[in-house]
Structure 1
Amino acid sequence: MYFIDLNSDLGESFGAWKMGNDEAVLDFVSSANVACGFHAGDPMVMLATVRAAKEKGVAVGAHPGYPDLMGFGRRNMDVTPDEAYAYTLYQIGAMQAACNAVGVKLQHVKAHGALYNQAAKNHALAVAIAQAVKDAGQGLILLGLANSEFDKAAAEVGVPYAAEAFADRAYQADGTLVPRKVQGSMIHDVSLAVARVVRMVKEGKVETIDGKVIDLRPHSICLHGDSPKAVQMATEIRKGLQAAGIKIVPISEVIKQ
């Protein structure tokens, strides 16, 4: 039996600004990465998202990012490891409080956007994030890009770890994501995305943007909730996984297998 988690980045609306279709996407995922107010989200949205996840039986994770609302956390920032640690710990604390108030256990932490992508290649940043996850307590799981510095940092720090892959993003030969500004970085063909995800889970392989095949064995697959085809993508990927005999469960259950 194969097991996989489906996660999505949610709770990214704030104030009068709306992002994504959280309610619909929650019907298809097993874990939610909820924005903590730095790159997106606000206290009201955080609470509403955690409540919605609880209602639908979806595990909750913190989704900390850079303090960059204007750039949606997707612009690189020159921060020290100490700053990355503090930013991450601060945001985890806010999400833990929301989860405690709603009566759910915070499951994991996944960095957002540029913080995630920079740490995937920068060992010191990855270690800072991993250390914040460990120091926040409660046995939180670090969710990070498969075959990246997150893998090494989690082992070094001694924090539970889950490797992540992406259903709708193209990969480079070194296992990192193709930057969004590059043509072909996003996969819009739903049937292609389904086939790629099933192959990742069952074979531990993925084809890169330049046609190479690399090893990639994830515990969790990210489905972006802010794309035009988000609901269709989530629906078809879930159906495709189930048709292939793959069981969809939260991250905490996958890493036990």
Structure 2
Amino acid sequence: MQYLTNKKLINCDLGECLTPNPDTHIMPLIDMANIACGGHAGDDKSMVQTIQLAAQNNTAIGVHPSYFDKENFGRLSHDLNKNELFDLIYNQVLHFQQLCTENSVQLSYIKLHGALYHDIIHKQFVLNIVCDVIKAINQNINLVVQAGNEAHFKHIETNKKIQLLHEVFADRGYHSTHIIPRGEKGAVLDNAYAIVKQYQDFLNKKSFKIDTICFHSDNIASVKALKILKNA
């Protein structure tokens, strides 16, 4: 198999307290670490450990907030009012930033997890609240959003002056620019070489903007794909 030499930034969801924990093996292979901050997974101990691991590997640090729902791993949307939703996200991000400060590292970006990640596409008020949180904490924090939705997110950059990073997933199935929902056939790629191929395809994609490509740490095939790319 031929591997391309050009690349996009690779990000991965880490600090999710998986057993066995793949974080130490993954961190040297990626550019951006999306660190769970207690909503769907993680606690202070795991956050600090993962922050320090990222710092040791010169990996950019991102906070990965979620609905408070460890039972469903943050994959179910919750009906919260605007104040409740603001507090949910603000408290997770602010606490995580404080842990970053205590460990002399910089919080670079926010990547929402699970249902919250998808809700900023389908519920405008959720997106607005996320922007309010960024403004309240640090206007320079970037926001990771799902690629292929540039028209939906354009006003965030132009009107709210928040820098976006457009993301695709190496190990998720797609219909055009739309992710196949979990539970449907083809939603998750479970072959490492198929994941590598999709990563390569995204490198040359010109039809929509891509800044970063995600590999999931809880997908064994994805971790194998990262190692294949690293050794190519």
Which TM-score applies when normalising by structure 2? 0.89
SS in 2 for 1:27: helix
For residues 171-250 of structure 1, what are the structure 2 equivalents within 5 Å? Answer: 171-173=174-176, 175-204=177-206, 215-238=207-230
Relative contact order: is structure 1 or structure 2 higher (C-alpha 8 Å, sep ≥ 6)?
A: 1
Instruction: Please tell me whether residue 71 in structure 1 is matched to residue 72 in structure 2.
Output: yes
TM superposition shift of 1:238: 4.3
TM superposition shift of 1:98: 1.0
User: Is the 1:200–1:217 Cα contact (8 Å) retained in structure 2?
Assistant: no
Instruction: Give the aligned partner of residue 4 of structure 1.
Output: 8
Instruction: Give the aligned partner of residue 246 of structure 1.
Output: none
Which runs of 4 or more aligned residues in structure 1 lie more than 6 Å from their structure 2 counterparts after TM superposition?
Answer: none
Q: Deviations over 1:183-208 (max 9, x none)?
A: 1101122222222222222233xxxx
TM superposition shift of 1:118: 1.9
Structure 2: distance between partners of 1:152 and 1:18: 41
User: Is the 2:195–2:222 Cα contact (8 Å) retained in structure 1?
Assistant: no
Instruction: Give the aligned partner of residue 28 of structure 1.
Output: 29
Which TM-score applies when normalising by structure 1? 0.81
Q: Deviations over 1:179-238 (max 9, x none)?
A: 11111101122222222222222233xxxxxxxxxx333101111001122321212244
User: Is the 2:145–2:165 Cα contact (8 Å) retained in structure 1?
Assistant: yes
For residues 40-189 of structure 1, what are the structure 2 equivalents within 5 Å? Answer: 40-137=41-138, 139-148=140-149, 149-173=152-176, 175-189=177-191
Q: 1:155 to 1:171 in 2, by over 3 A?
A: farther
User: Is the 1:2–1:202 Cα contact (8 Å) retained in structure 2?
Assistant: no
Q: Deviations over 1:115-151 (max 9, x none)?
A: 1012222222122212212321161000111123445
Structure 1: distance between partners of 2:158 and 2:83: 19
Aligned pair count reads: 226
Q: Which runs of 5+ in 2 are unaligned?
A: none
SS in 2 for 1:7: strand
Q: Which is further off, 72-81 or 40-49?
A: 72-81
Instruction: Give the aligned partner of residue 211 of structure 1.
Output: none
Aligned-residue CA RMSD (Å): 2.1
| Matching residue's letter, 1:160 | Q
Structure 1: distance between partners of 2:88 and 2:74: 12
Q: Which runs of 5+ in 1 are unaligned?
A: 205-214, 241-257
Structure 2: distance between partners of 1:85 and 1:172: 32
SS in 2 for 1:39: coil
| Matching residue's letter, 2:9 | D
Structure 2: distance between partners of 1:220 and 1:171: 16
